[in-house]
A and B are shown apart, each in its own frame.
Chain A
């Protein structure tokens, strides 16, 4: 990172005007690395034949005609475009302007298209785009709920490492209650309650006893993991018919919207939890940035002394918002048992809470950006399932690794130094 400062000091003015342009080489470097990678993969290890993309319809939406592309030609053209774009990013840098985000996004999109064309090339089975996106959305649901909870909690000044624990607790209690009562609604409510209960532990120790929030978060994750595993093998596994057999939430197509090709079946033919997720994203965004509640929440997270001075109850605001965050994450946990799998199993969240945490930081503590980051993680995770199904040449382990490599590249290249809420992680001790 270089900083150039140009001083213009007119004689008459007493104030020194300083123009600082911060140039970052990180984006061009990352783009160049990816461009070189594309040359290696798509040109040196090029594959012949054709690539077929299919766009299957849903229960209501019609199918689109399939697209057949010549693999080698498409890959080479896209690689040339990527190399040119990477070169142009250095030119943009030389002109001392920042590489815009849309530029990086277009670059990333073209790379993904090139990669899909290459991986599904050589006359292998057609690549189903609809199911690729559908799977990506399903895998993203817990990430998005987790990320929203993380954003809320951290914006109010409490680091939420306990997302993993809240997800797991939500999944467990939702499965148990829904199975015992046979009611999906009670299961959803139970997931909310479970998330709030875990949040209470976090809030009590972090806000009341000033214990380091990262410590409490990590320990809560271990506690919930141990507790759910213990109860699973001691209680649930002994009578799975009665205790661990919850009904699955049915998919509800939204009239009109669900008839749009590709987008309809992916976004608008989902279960109630996914629709609740859309509402939650919008509500958290509007609430945080356009309401009094959000202003108070953010002020408590940025500068609690100042908030206290103007009469905001810091402890109370933090406590209730951490609880609300827990409720949101708990709902995401219900998706595991009521939305996708249909029964609880040990450690079924498998570290996804930590990925949601990564989405929070990747999305710079902004609900919309965090949601997009979560979707990216979901897409990357789902990619390997789809590519394994069409018979890709890459060993499955490397495809599984891909989302994590992409995340590191993205975090190192595009996100860089991130600044969280100023008072996040610091207990507020009123004096």
Chain B
């Protein structure tokens, strides 16, 4: 992969789609309709825009992914298989079995992630949604960090390593020092951010100074961090808890724990407020600051950015450092927020990799990443209940998540499945059949 190709990866889908005449980007930029082709009926036009627009595509992508998930659940269910054995004598049994297993699964998914109607009060009924937000917190900040890399053309697969180093840094501060209440928390969070930033900074510096490909370096740094932390966790005097033989760290001191913002009945901790602040910060950084402008310029076209006088190397390093700091926040959320009783070497819980999907689904934009993080948090929270109540493996959530990203990335496919109109002006009917069709139509028609 060359640098410029990397540079374009976060935006290639856009530029490709834009070239293909897609409306997702056109809607955002507001350049919908060339004046000479405007249709007289504005209501029809508005309806077409909504039906072909990105919101509808996103919703339909979720629906499609859930349908595929339902098919998988139904096909692998022993009850359905049994009923399908005598399908031709009593087909209703098969459909009933399918309905039972699928509706049971998705009811659990909903009740585990949004609202549980089985609980007596609103305060306890809404508890699953609070769990969703808790799960979403590290996903959001890590997704923001990975997305920031995407915007600069850097593909940061090193979320796992950055989270582990951040966990070690903030955990060490969290149990070694005895500081006053607020200061201890601030210092511990800052230590975690610095840890993640340092680890990602290695990849950034190597990329900028020697040209080492960041995909290789971040993958390798994941493993190095994993073994380093594993070693430190089993070494007395390093990260291991005193008087313990398990590879586990001591518990965090109370002053350094992220407070629960809605009282002790919900797990939701202050990290969620930090995640909201981080989202606003990244938005400001990318859209309103000159550093963010440099990031985006380098991401779009490093050669052009260099010609324009932007230091590509410093943009690469700073984007990795800031992105790594954000990913480090995810490690902080884990150590100071959810597992405060000490952590092992699996503290990253796959969030570093999930963050890539979150950033992709959010199209590397801050608000999009936030929403994608909440959605994936909901799948995670609901998936646990689904596994416990309906004994459906939580891995189905991975399938549904990845399908959502795939479908959202390919609007023409979703439109073709649901026979939606193409966005933009209505193609002229029966007037000029010889007119060469735009590429997207040609491709979609194939």
Contacts and interface: CB of A to CB of B under 8 A. Distances in A.
Contacts of A77: none
Nearest to B234: A397
Given A211-B409, A395-B231, A431-B439, A418 B211 contact: yes
Given A210-B17, A229-B395, A427-B16, A215 B405 contact: yes
A2 interface: no
A210 B446 CA distance: 14
A223 B41 CA distance: 43
B210 A223 contact: no
B412 A230 contact: no
Given A211-B409, A218-B360, A427-B12, A408 B217 contact: yes
B220 A358 contact: yes
A230 B212 contact: no
B17 A361 contact: no
A413 B406 contact: no
B186 interface: no
B398 A205 contact: no
Contacts of B227: 397-398, 400-401
Contact of B206 (A209, A397, A405, A408): A408
Interface in A185-238: 201, 205, 208-212, 214-216, 218-220, 222-223, 225-227, 229-231, 233-235, 238
Interface stretch (B1-9, B166-174, B326-334, B365-373): B1-9
Nearest to A357: B215
Contacts of B357: 218-219, 222
B443 interface: yes
Given A416-B210, A416-B212, A422-B2, A212 B393 contact: no
Contacts of B410: 205, 209, 211
Interface string B133-157: 0000000000000000000000101
Contact of B396 (A226, A357, A400, A404): A226
The residue among A238, A395, A411 with the most chain B CB atoms within 10 A of its own CB is A411
B230 A205 contact: no
Contacts of A431: 439
Given A209-B410, A413-B210, A233 B395 contact: yes
A218 B409 CA distance: 13
B212 to A, nearest CB: 4
Nearest to B416: A209
Contact of B9 (A226, A405, A425): A425
A424 interface: yes
Given A26-B210, A210-B20, A361-B216, A226 B395 contact: yes
A230 B396 contact: yes
B402 A401 contact: no
A424 B13 CA distance: 14
Contact of A397 (B217, B219, B228): B228
Contacts of B20: 210, 429
A379 interface: no
Contacts of B48: none
A107 to B, nearest CB: 18
B23 to A, nearest CB: 15
A219 B1 contact: no
Contact of B212 (A214, A355, A415, A425): A415
B378 interface: no
Interface in A231-247: 231, 233-235, 238
Interface string A362-405: 10000000000000000000000000000000010110110011
Contact of A222 (B72, B210, B402): B402
B12 A230 contact: no
Q: Binding site of A, secondary structure by majority: helix, strand, loop or mixed?
A: helix
Interface string A297-319: 00000000000000000000000
Nearest to B232: A397
B212 A222 contact: no
Given A233-B393, A420-B5, A210 B16 contact: yes
A219 B65 CA distance: 13
A125 interface: no
Given A216-B406, A397-B227, A411-B217, A234 B12 contact: no
A115 B356 CA distance: 38
Q: Binding site of B, secondary structure by majority: helix, strand, loop or mixed?
A: helix
B358 to A, nearest CB: 11
Given A211-B409, A354-B157, A361 B215 contact: yes
A95 interface: no
Contacts of B403: 223
Interface residue range, chain B = 35 or more
B95 interface: no
Contacts of A351: 219
Contacts of B5: 159, 420, 424-426
Interface in B427-446: 439, 443, 446
Contacts of A26: 210
A219 B224 contact: no
A323 B360 CA distance: 25
Nearest to B223: A404
B76 A231 contact: yes
A427 B211 CA distance: 25
B20 to A, nearest CB: 6
A417 interface: yes
A415 B217 CA distance: 12
A404 B401 contact: no
Contacts of A210: 13, 16-17, 19-20
Contacts of A357: 215-216, 219
A19 interface: no
Contacts of A408: 206, 212, 216-217, 220-221, 224
A418 B157 CA distance: 19
Interface string B92-125: 0000000000000000000000000000000000
Contacts of A292: none
Nearest to B403: A223
B402 A219 contact: yes
A230 B443 CA distance: 34
B206 A226 contact: no
A407 B216 contact: yes
B399 interface: yes
A429 B72 CA distance: 34
B25 interface: no
A7 interface: no
B413 interface: yes
Given A223-B399, A395-B231, A429-B20, A230 B393 contact: yes
15 contacts: A210-B13, A210-B16, A212-B13, A215-B13, A219-B405, A219-B409, A226-B401, A230-B399, A357-B216, A358-B219, A361-B215, A411-B213, A411-B217, A424-B2, A431-B439
Identify the 6 closest CB pairs spanning chains A and B, nearest first.
A226-B398, A417-B211, A229-B395, A397-B231, A223-B402, A210-B16
Given A361-B213, A362-B216, A427-B12, 20 more contacts: A209-B412, A210-B19, A212-B9, A218-B360, A219-B357, A223-B399, A227-B399, A229-B395, A230-B72, A230-B393, A358-B219, A361-B216, A397-B231, A401-B227, A408-B217, A408-B220, A411-B206, A418-B213, A424-B1, A426-B12
